[in-house]
Structure 1
Amino acid sequence: RTVEQYLRAFVHAKPSQWAPLLPWVEYHYNTSVHTASGFTPFQVIYGKPPPTIPSYITGSSPIDACDVVLTSRDELMRLLRKNLTKAQAQMKVAADKHRRDVEFAI
């Protein structure tokens, strides 16, 4: 279910181009803290926090193909964060519709 949500967030703008995005979905899943454990899957397996991917400075590679790939990767990660934040807000609104404040007398 979580992977499906990540895929939806990744491919929202380009639904026919999901296959090349699978490695990024896997990376994001493995480096996200899971509420049940309080750790990332990477941390659980390797005992240390996952390595971070530094942002790419456009034009810093002399190879044009690298520049294009790394720039698009950073744009994709920004879009992913935006889409996941939006989806999280929508899920919260949906969940809050069924919640009510309850007071208990002690």
Structure 2
Amino acid sequence: MSSAFHAQTDDQSEVVNRVIVMYLRCLVGDRPKSWLQWLPWAEFCYNTSYQTAVKCSPFHIVYGRDPPTLCSYQQGTDRVATVHKQLIARDEFMEDIKNRLLQAQVTMQSTHDKHRRSVHYEVGDWVG
């Protein structure tokens, strides 16, 4: 549990919170008025993403199986215009959020790399 007055949480919760905040920033960027309708898709993206710490997805941890795959929408396979619009919007959103998350990952990696220095040792450098 954490609060504004007692902000002690474990490191894992802090990492998850940062990831969720990153997802929400990607969502809210161009959609400040409609972000709430896309929130379930952000949850789906997080729950089905591979986590290196546990070597599987959160979905797999909870349900014991791999998450379902989403089939991409093939135009002309529906008979209802509303379904067509929703599936087109879903596919566009999923592609957009994927690109934004990759962009955020690259930004985080470059920020992290700024604090690292490259050190190379030659065989002759060792004092024996």
- The aligned amino acid for 1:60 is T
> Rg bigger for which structure?
2
Q: Does 1:63 align with 2:80?
A: yes
Q: Does 1:52 align with 2:69?
A: yes
Shift of 1:3: 1.2
2-structure distance, mates of 1:84, 1:90: 10
Shift of 1:65: 0.2
Instruction: For structure 2, list consecutive stretches of 5 or more residues without a partner in the other structure.
Output: 1-17
Shift of 1:103: 5.5
In structure 2, the residue matched to 1:98 is 115
Computed over aligned residues only, the root mean square deviation of the Cα atoms, in angstroms, reads 1.6
1-structure distance, mates of 2:63, 2:44: 14
Instruction: For structure 1, list consecutive stretches of 5 or more residues without a partner in the other structure.
Output: none
- The aligned amino acid for 2:117 is R
Stretch of structure 1 that moved more, 6-15 or 40-49 = 6-15
Identity of paired residues, percent? 40
User: Alignment partner for residue 88 of structure 1, among 75, 84, 105?
Assistant: 105
Aligned positions, number: 106
Q: 4+ residue stretches of structure 1 with deviation over 4 A?
A: 103-106
Structure with larger RCO (C-alpha < 8 A, sep 6+): 1
Q: Does 1:4 align with 2:38?
A: no
In structure 1, the residue matched to 2:15 is none
